[in-house]
């Protein structure tokens, strides 16, 4: 057993190192493609860090409070995954919570929360602090399943890394951290076959901040909801996975349409579900616990405006409220603070929507079969599904083998339309992009949807 253990461990380490290396390498690459988008604010009592696994992709977001916060929770979803929520539901007005950790990876993402907790302990011990026990609240979204091939989920180390990288006053918006592979709004588009998923847009993590007198209020949210994001004019904000130019309807139209087609709806099975919105409301205003709890309830309820429907059986919605317990502000009553936070929550939901990468343009003129021939071959995704590329009569086609997902139906052949150097658009409802990857002139793999949600496959034939 020792032998095995050692070799298992070695293997594990190699995997970890590779992942780490890959992450660092790819992060670098990635940042060249999509301009970073941050909310900046002035709330230095809170440090925020993210960490991501490019293979996945998936990620985690750590909110670290060096001085501790008093916390409360409101759990409204049908399938919550949490760490320590009951401890902050008892009414203590004590600042024993040191971090809130949101992650992808469904229930496995909770490892990031415990990982961050242990990293805080390590830091405290290294600083000679006597009381090293760190209180951490955790929440997760389901970013696995049919939206990606890889089964990588945030782990202990990713949570620790996000903690170590945390800095004050800055929050990365969009497809970052726990929102790395979030999506929203499938409720209205559900149906058989991959084409239905074309209208399932990516979302991410959003934030908003406001100061009223001495009171600071920040709201952070990771939107992976069954419902769709709605703006203050009642308009659905995004309704296609890749195309931002698609005109989206009013939510009232979507609702009317759905009411007429309810027999085509999603069956639920036990356990964690595909959807969740995670929210954190932070203030520095002193509040009695009962009002911290009320704040959670009022804000969470208000989010039924920005995400419709909200708090369904399919969602695992969790909202935490925390206060650094610093300033008295008799001018801002608790329900008014909650009123402001409710509007911030709407803002945060809206800016959780990531900037989409520029779409490649279709190239005019046909290509010669000969030129296309170099792409022909079989490409394998993580988990074993594969795409067989053929070149024939000046056209490139792709045939998918493997489990159906949001990109491909099983054993369906897709036409690939040229769209710039090495890039092709898949002829389907979603118009996903394929880019062939070359090393020293050789096609060694292909990337599905280059950009934040890229998925790599290796050429195996």
Query: Shortest Cβ distance from residue 30 to a copy of itself (Å)?
Result: 14
According to CB under 8 A, which residues from 374 to 403 bind a copy of itself? 403
Stretch of 15-23, 174-182, 238-246, 356-364 contacting a copy of itself, by CB under 8 A: 15-23
Query: Shortest Cβ distance from residue 28 to a copy of itself (Å)?
Result: 11
Distances (CA, A) of 3 to 8, 9, 10, 12, 130: 8, 10, 11, 14, 37
According to CB under 8 A, which residues from 165 to 224 bind a copy of itself? 187, 212
Nearest to 431 by CA among 195, 92, 113: 195
Query: Shortest Cβ distance from residue 186 to a copy of itself (Å)?
Result: 12
Which letter, b or e, does each residue of 368-406 get, where b requires 16 or more Cβ atoms within 10 Å of its Cβ?
eeeebeebbbebbbbeebbbebbbeeeebbbebebebbb
According to CB under 8 A, which residues from 254 to 283 bind a copy of itself? 255, 258-259, 262-263, 265-272
* Strand pairing category for 228-229 and 276-285: unpaired
Asked whether position 127 contacts a copy of itself by CB under 8 A, the answer is no
Stretch of 148-156, 358-366, 371-379, 386-394 contacting a copy of itself, by CB under 8 A: 148-156
According to CB under 8 A, which residues from 338 to 367 bind a copy of itself? 338-340, 342-343
- Cβ(71)–Cβ(137) below 8 Å: yes
Q: Of these, 27, 31, 44, 133, which contacts a copy of itself (CB under 8 A)?
A: 133
Which residue among the candidates 153, 276, 277, 447 is catalytic per the annotation? 276
Query: Shortest Cβ distance from residue 288 to a copy of itself (Å)?
Result: 7
Backbone angles phi, psi at 168, to 5 degrees: -80, 160
Asked whether position 75 contacts a copy of itself by CB under 8 A, the answer is yes
Which letter, b or e, does each residue of 155-190 get, where b requires 16 or more Cβ atoms within 10 Å of its Cβ?
bbbbbbbbbbebeeeebbbbbbbbbbbbbbbbbbbb
Query: Shortest Cβ distance from residue 338 to a copy of itself (Å)?
Result: 7
**DSSP character string of 37-106:** -EEE---TT-EEEEEEETTTTEEEEEEEEEEEEEEEEEE-SSS--EESGGGGSS------EEEEEEESSG
What is the Cα–Cα distance from 163 to 411, expressed in whole angstroms?
43
Of the pair 243, 409, the CB lying nearest a copy of itself is at 409
Query: Shortest Cβ distance from residue 264 to a copy of itself (Å)?
Result: 10
> How is residue 358 annotated by DSSP?
P
According to CB under 8 A, which residues from 283 to 322 bind a copy of itself? 288-291, 293-294, 297-298, 300-305, 308-314, 316
What is the Cα–Cα distance from 458 to 443, expressed in whole angstroms?
10
Of the pair 72, 207, the CB lying nearest a copy of itself is at 72
Of the pair 108, 241, the CB lying nearest a copy of itself is at 108
Asked whether position 439 contacts a copy of itself by CB under 8 A, the answer is no
Asked whether position 91 contacts a copy of itself by CB under 8 A, the answer is yes
Tokens of 41: 């604010």
Of the pair 300, 414, the CB lying nearest a copy of itself is at 300
Q: Of these, 33, 67, 93, 392, which contacts a copy of itself (CB under 8 A)?
A: 93
Query: Shortest Cβ distance from residue 101 to a copy of itself (Å)?
Result: 11
Taking each continuous run of H as one helix and of E as one strand, the counts in the chain are: 7, 22
The length of the chain in residues reads 461
Which residues contact residue 442 at a Cβ distance below 8 angstroms, ignoring those fewer than 6 apart?
none
Total interface residues for a copy of itself by CB under 8 A: 117
Asked whether position 111 contacts a copy of itself by CB under 8 A, the answer is yes
Query: Shortest Cβ distance from residue 171 to a copy of itself (Å)?
Result: 20
Asked whether position 107 contacts a copy of itself by CB under 8 A, the answer is yes
Which residues contact residue 251 at a Cβ distance below 8 angstroms, ignoring those fewer than 6 apart?
228, 230, 234, 235, 236, 308
Which residues contact residue 368 at a Cβ distance below 8 angstroms, ignoring those fewer than 6 apart?
394
- Cβ(281)–Cβ(293) below 8 Å: no
276 given a catalytic annotation:
yes
Q: Of these, 50, 117, 387, 434, which contacts a copy of itself (CB under 8 A)?
A: 117
Q: Of these, 48, 85, 280, 448, which contacts a copy of itself (CB under 8 A)?
A: 85
- Known catalytic residues? 276
């Amino acid at each position: 057993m020792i032998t095995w253990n050692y070799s298992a461990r070695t293997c594990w380490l190699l995997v970890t190192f590779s992942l780490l290396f890959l992450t660092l390498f790819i992060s670098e690459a990635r940042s060249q493609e999509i301009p970073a988008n941050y909310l900046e604010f002035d709330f230095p009592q809170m440090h925020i860090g993210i960490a991501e696994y490019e293979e996945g992709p998936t990620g985690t977001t750590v909110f670290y409070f060096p001085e501790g916060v008093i916390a409360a929770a409101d759990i409204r979803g049908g399938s919550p995954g949490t760490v320590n929520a009951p401890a902050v539901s008892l009414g203590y007005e004590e600042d024993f919570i040191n971090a809130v950790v949101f992650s992808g990876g469904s229930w496995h993402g909770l490892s990031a929360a415990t990982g961050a907790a242990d990293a805080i302990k390590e830091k405290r011990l290294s600083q000679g602090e006597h009381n090293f026990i760190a209180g951490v609240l955790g929440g997760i979204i389901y970013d696995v399943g049919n939206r990606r091939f890889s089964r990588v989920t945030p782990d202990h180390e990713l949570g620790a890394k996000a903690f170590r990288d945390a800095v004050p006053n800055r929050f990365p918006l969009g497809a970052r951290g726990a929102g790395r592979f979030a999506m929203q709004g499938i409720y209205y588009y559900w149906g058989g076959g991959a084409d239905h998923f074309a209208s399932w847009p990516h979302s991410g993590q959003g934030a908003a901040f406001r100061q009223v007198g001495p009171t600071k209020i920040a709201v952070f949210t990771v939107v992976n909801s069954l419902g769709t994001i709605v703006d203050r004019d009642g308009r659905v904000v995004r309704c296609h996975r890749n195309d931002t130019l698609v005109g989206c309807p009013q939510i009232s139209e979507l609702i009317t349409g759905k009411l007429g087609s309810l027999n085509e709806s999603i069956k639920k099975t036990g356990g964690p579900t595909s959807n969740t919105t995670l929210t954190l409301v932070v203030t520095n205003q002193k509040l009695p616990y009962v009002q911290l709890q009320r704040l959670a309830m009022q804000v969470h309820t208000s989010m039924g405006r920005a995400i419709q429907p909200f708090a369904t059986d399919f969602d695992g919605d969790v909202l935490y409220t925390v206060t650094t317990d610093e300033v008295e502000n008799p001018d801002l009553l608790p329900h008014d603070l909650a009123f402001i936070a409710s509007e911030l929550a709407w803002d945060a939901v809206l800016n959780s929507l990531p900037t989409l990468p520029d779409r490649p343009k279709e190239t005019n003129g046909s290509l010669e079969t000969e030129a296309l021939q170099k792409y022909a071959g079989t490409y394998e995704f993580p988990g074993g599904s594969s795409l067989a590329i053929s070149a024939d009569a000046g056209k490139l086609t792709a045939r998918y083998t493997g489990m159906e997902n949001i990109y491909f139906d099983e054993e369906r052949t897709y036409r690939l339309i040229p769209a710039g150097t090495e890039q092709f658009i898949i002829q389907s409802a979603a118009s996903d992009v394929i880019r062939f990857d070359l090393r020293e002139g050789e096609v060694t793999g292909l990337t599905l949807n280059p950009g934040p949600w890229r998925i790599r496959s290796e050429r195996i034939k």
